[in-house]
Amino acid sequence: MNIRKGTKADMQAVLDLIQELAVFEKEPDAVVVTVADLERDGFGENPLFHTFVAEVENDPSDSEQAKQIVGMALYYYRYSTWKGRTIHLEDLIVKEKMRGTGLGLALYTKIMEQGKADNVRRIEWNVLDWNTPAIEFYKKSGAKILADWDVVQMDEQGINEFLTNL
């Protein structure tokens, strides 16, 4: 297993992982981002996100590629009026067949190391309330689950309706 910074060439594999997560989260048709979006937004002059990818050696009989990406963590920087610079971990995804191998912990650790290296005062992320294994993993690691806060979002349709009805 090797954890490394993601590259532009990894974005197809990253998108495949994002789509696998959407299926796990019961939203298989919700992903609209494309490889081109990921390449543009993650590797331009001012990247909007960064990634770590986890790769493992493939079966030696697989002549297509020697290594396969089986996990990733996608994060970006935010600014808190109370804490200053923070990291938002958007997604940490491990292929289902690789769960329980320590790969998720390795990616999680890499994010924590990045936060420490960047001197951020907080790393934050969201977890679905029904994802008990993830919640238990985060609690065991020392993370706090904030019960007093709700996630608020405005989707594209909501944005358009709001602006139309002003």
CB half-sphere exposure, 53, CA atoms < 13 A: 20
* CA dihedral over 154, 160, 161, 163, signed as positive or negative: positive
Strands 84-94, 67-80: parallel, antiparallel or unpaired by DSSP?
antiparallel
Q: Which of 75, 76, 79, 138 is catalytic?
A: 138
Q: Which of 67, 35, 73 is nearest to 51 (CA)?
A: 73
At 51, phi and psi to the nearest 5?
-135, 155
List CB contacts of 73: < 8 A, sequence separation 6 or more: 51, 52, 89, 91, 92, 93, 107, 108, 110, 111
Contact predicate 112/130, CB 8 Å = no
Task: Give catalytic status of residue 138 as yes or no.
Answer: yes
The catalytic residue positions are 138
